[in-house]
Chain A
C-alpha cells in the first residue's frame, strides 16, 4: 500500500505492507531512529511520537493508519539547531541517564505542557503514566517538565 506522510515537516512516501508498524516505518523507511522500541505491549512509551498534535505510541499503530498524517518525532523538535524547551529542560535538570526512554519521555512531556501550561507535580506524574524509565526514579524528569513549563510560560 502506498502511503504519504509528513514527518518533521518533510514529505515521505513509501509502498508498505499493511502489517508494518509505524515505529518500524519511522525507524527504517524514514531512517528516524530516535524513537525506540522497549516492549511489545504498549506499556513503556519509548516509541511515543506526536501524530496530528497528539502523543501516541507508534508501536501500537500500523503505518497505513497514519497515511496522510502529520508526525513529529524527537528528531523534529529542535528548530534550526535550537533545542525545544523540553529538551533543554531535560538536559539542565538531568532528566535522563541511559537515554533510551528519553525521546518518548520528552514527547509525552511536551503533550503535558501543550495541554496544561502550569502542571502540578501530580499532574506531571499522571501525564507520564504511559512512559517507563528504569534509571532516574522520575524525580529529575518531573523537575524537567516543571522547568520547561515555567520557561514556556515566561
Chain B
C-alpha cells in the first residue's frame, strides 16, 4: 500500500535551476521594505553633515510639532542603550564607545544625530528638515597616513595618535631570509576603500508587543542570530523575548555581516511608541553609513634568490578603520596577515598592522575581507620580483608553489593548507589562454607600438570560516532536519542566504542523502524563532560548514529511519536507499512516508528510541578550507586615451567538489565583477574635510553590463578532506583572484615603458599618463 518514492538520479553536481527563483522573478518575494503592518510608523534619521564637530544644541520643537510626527529622539534620549558591539579582540585594542546615535560629538559625515518618527515617510522626511542642530565644526582627518602624522586632528580626543592598535606577527627567521637574499623588491601598494553597495540597502522593521514583552525585528542581515543576541543585549531585553527575521535579503557581500546602530535604534523606537516602525536606508545613507571595505596602504618587501625562490616577506599594513569599530573592523587586516604568503611555500614572514582611526564610516568585511588585499599584494609583488629577475610570471609562481605532496601544509602564518594542486589551474588557464602564442603576439604588438598586457594571478583564500577558536562568535554551523509525519522534509539551516542559492544546494544534498524528490524538501532560514541557533552566511562558509552540518544531521536521521524501517519490516538486515528501507532477505520495502508516519504515531518504538524524526547537528569544522585558482587577463590599452579593454578574462577556480555548477559559475562571475570594479572603477573618495565625494551612483562607478568582459570560467577539482562533502567554498574566489590579474596585465602592458606598479582603480587618466610618460605612479 505504501507509495514509495524511488529516486535513482543524484542531484549533487547537477546544473539545476534554483528553487528560490519563482518568487523572485514574479515580484512576490518579501524584502524588509515590503513588510506592512497595521499602524506602521516611519523613521527618518537626521545625520551629521560634518565629519567632526561638537554638538552645541539640538532643538527638536519644530520637528516634534510637525504634521504626522509622533516622536523625536536624540542621542541623549537613547543614552541607556548599549554600545554597538565590536566582536574582535586584539591585544591592547582601543575601543571607542560607539553609541547608537551621537551624543555630544559627531565623528563622521552621516553619523546619526536624531530620529524623527511619523505616520508617513514623506512627513517624517519633512520634519527631519525642521530639526535645528548647532554644530561647532572641528578639523577632521580622512586619510589614514595623514592621521598618523604628528599634529593630525585627533578623531577621538583621548587618543591623539589616532592609533587603535598595533599588531605584530612573524614566522620563521625573517632576518636571515633577508640576509640571504640575492634580491629584495619593495613596493607600496594600496587597496582603496570600496562601498559594498548591495542593491537592497539596509532596512529594519521593529514591532513591540508590550503585553508579551516581545520584540520582533525584521532586518536585512546575513546573521540574524547574532543580531538577536547582541541587539537584545544592547536594549536590555531578554534574548528569548526577541525574534529576528531576515526575510528576503537583497545582497550583502559582508556589509550585512554586522550589528548596526539602526537595528537597536528601531527596537528602541518601537518599544517607546508601542507601534511598529520602519526605517529603510536611502542609497545616500548606504554610501555614508553602511560599512566600507578594504582601505589598506601596504608596504611590501620580498626577499628572494636569483633563481626566483622567495625567501621571505615583510609587510606593513596601515588599515583605515574609520571612526569606530563595527563588528569585525579591527580583525579584517589580521586575515590579510594570515593570507600573506599566498600559495607560496616561504616560511619566513613578518607583518605589522597599524589600525588607524579616521573621520570616516568604519571599514569592515566586504567580499573577501582582508584576503583580496593580501592576494593583491603578494600577486603584485611576485610579478615585480619576476620583472626584477627577468623571469616569466608563470615560471616564478610554479617554482614557489607548495607542492602537491606537501599537503597538509603548515604555513608561515600558522595555518594548515588542507589540500591543493596549485599548478593545475595555472596550467589549465595557460592552455586556455594559449600562453606562448599570446606572448609572441605581445612581442609583435610592441613592435607596432601597441600595448598588450598579459596578467596572471594565482590566488589562495581562506574559506569556510571558520573553526570556532579562530572566530569572534563561534565558527560552527547548525542544521535541523525534520521529516514530517507525511514524509516531506524540512531543513532549517543557521546559514542565511543573501542570494547564494542555499535553498537549492542544501535541497540537493538532502535529496541525495534521503533519496527523495527535491520537491519534497523545503529549506528554511533567517528566522530565529524557526531556526535553532546559527552563525550565518559569510566567509564562503555556508555550504562547507552549513552544508556539512546538514550532512551530519541527515546521517543521524537516516540511522533512525533505518531503525524504524527495520522494526516495521521485522528484520535486522535492512538497507536504506532510494527513499526506502529494504529488507535484504525478503526484499520487502517500507517507504519514507510510511516510516515517518510510524515514528510520529509511535504505536511501537524500537528499543531506546524516541518518537519523531528530527535531528539537529551543530558542526564544528576542524580547519578552514583553502580554495585556489588562477586567473589570466589579456588587455589591450589605447595609448591615446588610456582606455583598458579586456580582451579575455580566463578564470580557473578550484573550490573542491561542486554541488551545483550553475550556481558556482554565478558566484565566480559576480565575484569577478566586484574584483574588476575595484581594479578599474570603484573608489570611495573622501576629501580632506571628510566629505564623501563618491557618495552616490552619480560618482561611484559600479560595474554595468556594457563594462563587463565575457568571463571564461572553468574549474579544476581538488576536494578538501576537512568536510565529508569535499567542498571548499566559492563566494569570494572571483573577487580575490581578479584584481591582481587585471593590474598585473595592465602593468605588463606598460612594463617596457618602465612601469612597475599602478594603484587601483586603473583609471584611463592614470594609464594615459603612464603610457605617455613612463615610470611608476
Report chain B residues within 8 Å CB of A27.
33-34
A100 at the interface (CB under 8 A from B): yes
A63 at the interface (CB under 8 A from B): no
Measured CA separation A133–B250 after assembly (Å): 10
Q: Which of these, A40, A44, A74, A125, contacts B26 with CB under 8 Å? A: A74
Given the interface pairs A34-B26, A35-B27, A74-B27, the reply to whether A131 lies near B18 with Cβ below 8 Å is no
CB neighbors of B among A61-78 (8 A): 73-75, 77-78
Of all chain A residues, which has the CB nearest B710?
A139
Asked if A78 contacts B697 (CB within 8 A), the reply is: no
B358 at the interface (CB under 8 A from A): no
Given the interface pairs A33-B27, A134-B199, the reply to whether A98 lies near B17 with Cβ below 8 Å is no
Count A-side interface residues using an 8 Å CB cutoff: 59
B670 at the interface (CB under 8 A from A): yes
Interface string of A114-154 (1 = CB under 8 A from B): 00000001101110110111111111111000000000000
| 11 pairs, CB–CB < 8 Å, chain A vs chain B | A17-B122, A40-B282, A43-B697, A74-B26, A91-B21, A96-B499, A98-B498, A99-B21, A100-B199, A124-B705, A134-B251
Q: Which of these, A20, A39, A122, contacts B697 with CB under 8 Å? A: A39
For residue A57, give the distance in angstroms from its CB to the closest CB of chain B: 12
Report chain A residues within 8 Å CB of B670.
97, 134-137
For residue A101, give the distance in angstroms from its CB to the closest CB of chain B: 5
Interface segment, B64-72, B237-245, B372-380, B660-668? B660-668
Q: Known contacts A27-B34, A90-B21, A97-B670; can you find 11 more A-B pairs with CB under 8 A?
A: A34-B27, A38-B283, A44-B697, A75-B28, A92-B17, A97-B501, A99-B21, A122-B706, A125-B706, A133-B199, A134-B670
Asked if B711 contacts A137 (CB within 8 A), the reply is: yes
A30 at the interface (CB under 8 A from B): no
Measured CA separation A31–B26 after assembly (Å): 14
B704 at the interface (CB under 8 A from A): yes
Report chain B residues within 8 Å CB of A124.
705
Report chain B residues within 8 Å CB of A136.
666, 669-670, 673
Asked if B33 contacts A33 (CB within 8 A), the reply is: yes
B605 at the interface (CB under 8 A from A): no
Interface string of B646-665 (1 = CB under 8 A from A): 00000000000000001101
For residue A14, give the distance in angstroms from its CB to the closest CB of chain B: 15
Q: Which of these, B28, B283, B663, B703, contacts A40 with CB under 8 Å? A: B283
Given the interface pairs A91-B17, A99-B250, the reply to whether A139 lies near B711 with Cβ below 8 Å is yes
Measured CA separation A141–B501 after assembly (Å): 16
Asked if A46 contacts B199 (CB within 8 A), the reply is: yes
Interface string of A86-113 (1 = CB under 8 A from B): 0100111010111111110010000000
Interface string of B221-254 (1 = CB under 8 A from A): 0000000000000000000000000001111010
Asked if B251 contacts A137 (CB within 8 A), the reply is: no
Asked if B662 contacts A94 (CB within 8 A), the reply is: yes
B352 at the interface (CB under 8 A from A): no
Asked if B198 contacts A91 (CB within 8 A), the reply is: no
Q: Which residues of B contact A (CB under 8 A)?
A: 17-18, 20-31, 33-34, 36, 121-122, 197-201, 248-251, 253, 280, 282-284, 498-501, 662-663, 665-666, 669-674, 696-698, 702-706, 708, 710-711, 734
Given the interface pairs A96-B25, A97-B251, the reply to whether A135 lies near B499 with Cβ below 8 Å is yes
Which 5 residue pairs of A and B lie closest in terms of their CB atoms, listed nearest first? A34-B27, A100-B250, A98-B499, A99-B24, A137-B669
Asked if B706 contacts A128 (CB within 8 A), the reply is: yes
Given the interface pairs A98-B249, A138-B705, the reply to whether A91 lies near B22 with Cβ below 8 Å is yes
Q: Give chain A's interface secondary structure class.
A: loop
Report chain A residues within 8 Å CB of B22.
91
Asked if A98 contacts B25 (CB within 8 A), the reply is: no
Asked if A94 contacts B25 (CB within 8 A), the reply is: no
Report chain A residues within 8 Å CB of B122.
17, 19-20
Report chain B residues within 8 Å CB of A73.
27
Given the interface pairs A40-B283, A131-B705, A139-B710, the reply to whether A87 lies near B25 with Cβ below 8 Å is yes
Measured CA separation A134–B670 after assembly (Å): 7
Measured CA separation A53–B253 after assembly (Å): 35
For residue B681, give the distance in angstroms from its CB to the closest CB of chain A: 13
A56 at the interface (CB under 8 A from B): no
Given the interface pairs A34-B26, A73-B27, A103-B27, the reply to whether A94 lies near B663 with Cβ below 8 Å is yes
Q: Which residues of A contact B (CB under 8 A)?
A: 17, 19-20, 24, 27-28, 31-41, 43-44, 46, 73-75, 77-78, 83, 87, 90-92, 94, 96-103, 106, 121-122, 124-126, 128-129, 131-142
Asked if B498 contacts A33 (CB within 8 A), the reply is: no
Asked if A41 contacts B697 (CB within 8 A), the reply is: yes
Asked if B708 contacts A41 (CB within 8 A), the reply is: no
For residue B103, give the distance in angstroms from its CB to the closest CB of chain A: 29
Of all chain A residues, which has the CB nearest B22?
A91
Select the residue from A38, A43, A91, A97 with max chain B CB neighbours within 10 A.
A97
Given the interface pairs A19-B122, A43-B697, A137-B670, the reply to whether A98 lies near B251 with Cβ below 8 Å is yes
Measured CA separation A39–B699 after assembly (Å): 13
Measured CA separation A115–B517 after assembly (Å): 41
Given the interface pairs A102-B24, A134-B251, the reply to whether A36 lies near B705 with Cβ below 8 Å is no
Measured CA separation A35–B33 after assembly (Å): 11
Q: Which of these, A17, A40, A44, contacts B199 with CB under 8 Å? A: A44
Asked if B29 contacts A99 (CB within 8 A), the reply is: yes
For residue B658, give the distance in angstroms from its CB to the closest CB of chain A: 14
For residue B715, give the distance in angstroms from its CB to the closest CB of chain A: 16
Asked if B665 contacts A94 (CB within 8 A), the reply is: yes
For residue A86, give the distance in angstroms from its CB to the closest CB of chain B: 9
Q: Which of these, B29, B36, B253, contacts A134 with CB under 8 Å? A: B253
Of all chain A residues, which has the CB nearest B252?
A98
Of all chain A residues, which has the CB nearest B500?
A97
Asked if A32 contacts B199 (CB within 8 A), the reply is: no
For residue B714, give the distance in angstroms from its CB to the closest CB of chain A: 14
Of all chain A residues, which has the CB nearest B287?
A39
Report chain A residues within 8 Å CB of B674.
134
Measured CA separation A96–B669 after assembly (Å): 12
Q: Which of these, A31, A36, A137, contacts B200 with CB under 8 Å? A: A36
Report chain B residues within 8 Å CB of A131.
705
Asked if A87 contacts B708 (CB within 8 A), the reply is: no
Report chain B residues within 8 Å CB of A32.
27
Asked if A132 contacts B702 (CB within 8 A), the reply is: yes
Measured CA separation A67–B741 after assembly (Å): 52
For residue A109, give the distance in angstroms from its CB to the closest CB of chain B: 10
Asked if B198 contacts A98 (CB within 8 A), the reply is: yes
Report chain A residues within 8 Å CB of B734.
137
Asked if A128 contacts B251 (CB within 8 A), the reply is: no
Q: Which of these, A83, A96, A138, contacts B708 with CB under 8 Å? A: A138
For residue A25, give the distance in angstroms from its CB to the closest CB of chain B: 12
